């Protein structure tokens, strides 16, 4: 058995954890999960799995999916999560890049290749290969190590204090690092984990009423508020990230869930996730900050030449962390190009405010140049989300013969609201 995460289920707290699927059923406790994982590991070993060999795991937020993850780790393999509903072209691309021979789906092993891939030094000590979409359209395999992710779980345990008394509601799938670390944290700390296969606002509001911790992106929260009020008196914490929370949603949370602590998290798959956190005690409705760096994370904000910019000046956010990726799969050139002086280049534009908090203002590749003015789409979207009738907003640059780029915006009204274009322009 190789890797720290393979031994996670052997911890005393994990034995009392519970994992439930959509129908409320699932593993009675962590001991049953461990037994299922060992059964998977034995099947993989019998099939001839080699050390550090990638294994595709089809995930749909089922308890069996977690048994598969732990089974691969306990067999000495590397997990490559892929959504159960992924298009065949996506599956073929991921299978080809990973070089996988085996696919695990609902506890069954399917052989999808003949020969094992050649040894890759990068995969020594690796736990996961998470494929992320990029601007080139071809997914990149981010290799995450056992030690880094296990250490990050310890940091998050100290920060979020999830424990045996919690029921964690998780609609985020295990193809995302956010979904992975929430699941592992809940199990390793003896909490009850409720996996939600598909998010829908009304059922989620009902599920939320029984939970103590919710982990999801702001869009999910906005959808729940857009279709009605949210009543969850037992909800003590919301873990959110992946996009800006926004002042309007922040105010709605304060109004409707005043007893709930909101942890606004920022991070990338490549950096191990949760690099910054805006703590509940620091969060003020109306702020767009991602807070301060979490334990083990350092950062700089730099100009195109890699030199640090002064406070309140916009530049690229670069991060140095103890928990980052081992590298991009089979792409050392991209790995090297992604770092500057030991810091990972996030591609996010940020500024360090006078209060010591970091604020994300956009993406480098998304900057719109309108008549020479540089505009960050995220700032326009955040402004529009403050309008009481707007549920969602998307801003983009479109080629324009006069200005170079014109600013185009699409908005989704809240349920029952009517948004007049001219009035909205005047409000902006």
Return the ∠ at Cα 307 (arms to 303 and 309), rounded to 5°. 65
Helix (H) or strand (E) holding 258, with range, is: none
Whether residue 263 contacts residue 339, with contact meaning beta carbons closer than 8 Å, is answered with no
Of the chain, the end-to-end C-alpha distance in Å amounts to 58
Question: DSSP alpha helices (H): ranges in 283-359?
Answer: 332-337
Per-residue confidence of the chain (428 residues) as pLDDT tens digits? 679 999 999 999 999 999 998 766 667 789 999 999 999 999 999 999 999 999 999 999 999 999 999 999 999 999 999 999 998 888 999 999 999 999 999 889 999 998 888 999 999 999 999 998 654 457 899 999 999 999 999 999 999 999 999 999 999 999 999 999 999 999 999 999 999 999 998 899 889 988 999 999 988 898 888 867 788 999 999 999 988 887 788 888 988 999 999 999 999 999 999 999 999 988 764 467 899 999 999 999 999 999 999 999 999 999 999 999 999 999 999 999 999 999 999 999 999 998 899 998 888 877 787 766 767 787 788 889 889 999 999 998 888 776 778 889 999 999 899 899 999 999 98
Q: What percent of the chain is helix, strand and coil (3-state, nearest 5)?
A: 30, 30, 40
Tokens of 92: 């073929």
Helix (H) or strand (E) holding 204, with range, is: helix 201-208
Whether residue 360 contacts residue 381, with contact meaning beta carbons closer than 8 Å, is answered with no
CA pair distance 145, 132, nearest whole angstrom: 16
Question: DSSP alpha helices (H): ranges in 300-417?
Answer: 332-337, 377-384
- The tens digit of pLDDT for each residue in 350-399 reads 999 988 999 988 888 777 877 667 677 877 888 898 899 999 999 988 88
Whether residue 143 contacts residue 328, with contact meaning beta carbons closer than 8 Å, is answered with yes
CA pair distance 406, 259, nearest whole angstrom: 43
User: Residue with structure tokens 């602590």?
Assistant: 261
CA pair distance 274, 179, nearest whole angstrom: 12
DSSP state of 393: E
Question: What is the torsional sign of CA 65, 69, 72, 75?
Answer: negative
Neighbouring C-alpha atoms within 13 Å toward the C-beta of 253: 28
User: What one-character-per-residue DSSP string does 143-173 give?
Assistant: EEEHHHHHHHHHHHHHHH---TT-EEEE-S-
């Amino acid at each position: 058995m190789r890797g720290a995460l393979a031994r996670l289920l052997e911890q005393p707290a994990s034995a009392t954890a519970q994992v439930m699927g959509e129908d409320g059923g699932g593993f009675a406790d962590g001991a049953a999960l461990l037994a299922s994982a060992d059964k998977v590991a034995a099947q993989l070993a019998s099939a001839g799995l080699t050390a550090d060999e990638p294994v595709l795991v089809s995930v749909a937020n089922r308890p069996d999916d977690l048994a598969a993850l732990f089974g691969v780790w306990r067999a000495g393999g590397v997990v490559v999560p892929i959504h159960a509903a992924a298009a065949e072209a996506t599956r073929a691309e991921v299978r080809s890049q990973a070089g996988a021979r085996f696919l695990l789906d609902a506890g069954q092993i399917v052989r999808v290749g003949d020969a094992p891939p050649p040894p890759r030094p990068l995969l020594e000590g690796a736990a996961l290969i998470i494929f992320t979409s990029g601007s080139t359209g071809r997914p990149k395999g981010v290799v995450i190590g056992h030690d880094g992710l296990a250490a990050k779980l310890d940091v998050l345990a100290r920060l979020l204090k999830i424990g045996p008394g919690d029921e964690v509601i998780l609609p985020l799938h295990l193809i995302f690092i956010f979904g992975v670390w929430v699941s592992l944290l809940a199990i390793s700390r003896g909490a009850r984990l409720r996996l939600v296969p598909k998010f829908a606002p009304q059922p989620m509001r009902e599920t939320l009423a029984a939970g103590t911790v919710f982990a999801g992106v702001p869009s999910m929260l906005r959808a729940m508020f857009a279709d009605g009020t949210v009543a969850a008196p037992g909800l003590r914490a919301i873990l959110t990230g992946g996009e800006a929370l926004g002042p309007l949603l922040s105010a709605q949370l304060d109004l409707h869930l005043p007893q709930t602590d909101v942890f606004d998290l920022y991070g990338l798959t490549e950096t191990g996730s949760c690099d910054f956190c805006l703590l509940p005690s620091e969060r003020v409705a109306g702020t767009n900050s991602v807070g301060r760096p979490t334990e083990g994370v350092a950062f700089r904000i730099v100009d195109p030449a890699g030199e640090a910019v002064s406070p309140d000046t916009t530049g690229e956010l670069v991060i140095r962390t103890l928990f980052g990726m081992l590298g991009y799969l089979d792409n050392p050139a991209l790995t090297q190009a992604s770092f500057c002086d030991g810091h990972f280049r996030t591609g996010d534009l940020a500024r360090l405010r006078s209060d010591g908090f970091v604020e994300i203002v956009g993406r480098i590749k998304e900057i719109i140049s309108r008549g020479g003015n540089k505009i960050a789409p995220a700032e326009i979207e955040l402004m529009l989300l403050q309008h009481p009738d707007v549920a969602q907003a998307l801003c983009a640059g479109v080629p324009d013969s006069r200005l170079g780029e014109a600013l185009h915006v699409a908005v989704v009204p809240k349920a029952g609201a009517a948004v007049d274009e001219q009035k909205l322009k005047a409000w902006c």
